[in-house]
Amino acid sequence: MKTQDLKRAARGTVMSKVKGLGTAHEPWELKTPPGTSDYQAYKDDEANPPALVVQAGKTQLRYHLRAIEDLHAMLKRSSDWVPLGSADEQKAAADGTVEAWGRSSTNPVKGWYGLKKGLRGRFGMYVPPVLEALGLAEVEHNPKNNRMRALATKK
């Protein structure tokens, strides 16, 4: 790892202490990677398809629940930091980012992880903190240009 990457990681990476159980009744209380907004998230195993539900203010976004495992697997294959690159659905996502992967025809769902047209973007903003809360990833928390990488999991 380059010296600038080590300094950046030390400055911007903080493992979050998360409140909540990730259920509809006790959702995780999370912050966006820059720390500028609070939101809640929980798993809805009963939805069809099963969903990761994100409540950001009055807006509810839903992503395929399998996004958690699929993103972790992609990060493990990458074995390095991956930029988040969050973008609204209507905007193009920068190549090589978590956001671009979350809408790519080459990911495991062959397209968008977001389930509701018009609200399918922001994958790179709302899903990475969930992986961090679950101990699956390390996420930077800088004002801009955040990245994430997989953490080793216990077998």
Query: Does any domain span residue 46?
Result: yes
Q: Binning pLDDT at 50, 70 and 90, where does residue 152 land? A: confident
52 three-class SS? strand
**pLDDT for 7-41, tens place per residue?**
344 344 444 578 999 999 999 999 999 999 999 99
**pLDDT for 101-149, tens place per residue?**
999 999 999 999 999 999 999 999 999 999 999 999 999 999 999 999 9
Domain coverage including residue 109 = 3-147
d(C-alpha 32, C-alpha 14), whole Å: 13
Model confidence at 1: pLDDT above 60: no
pTM of the model: 0.87
Model confidence at 61: pLDDT above 60: yes
Query: Does any domain span residue 153?
Result: no
Query: Does any domain span residue 155?
Result: no
**How confident is the model at residue 2, as a pLDDT?**
41
In the chain, the number of structural domains is: 1
Query: Does any domain span residue 154?
Result: no
d(C-alpha 130, C-alpha 65), whole Å: 11
Q: DSSP state, 152?
A: P
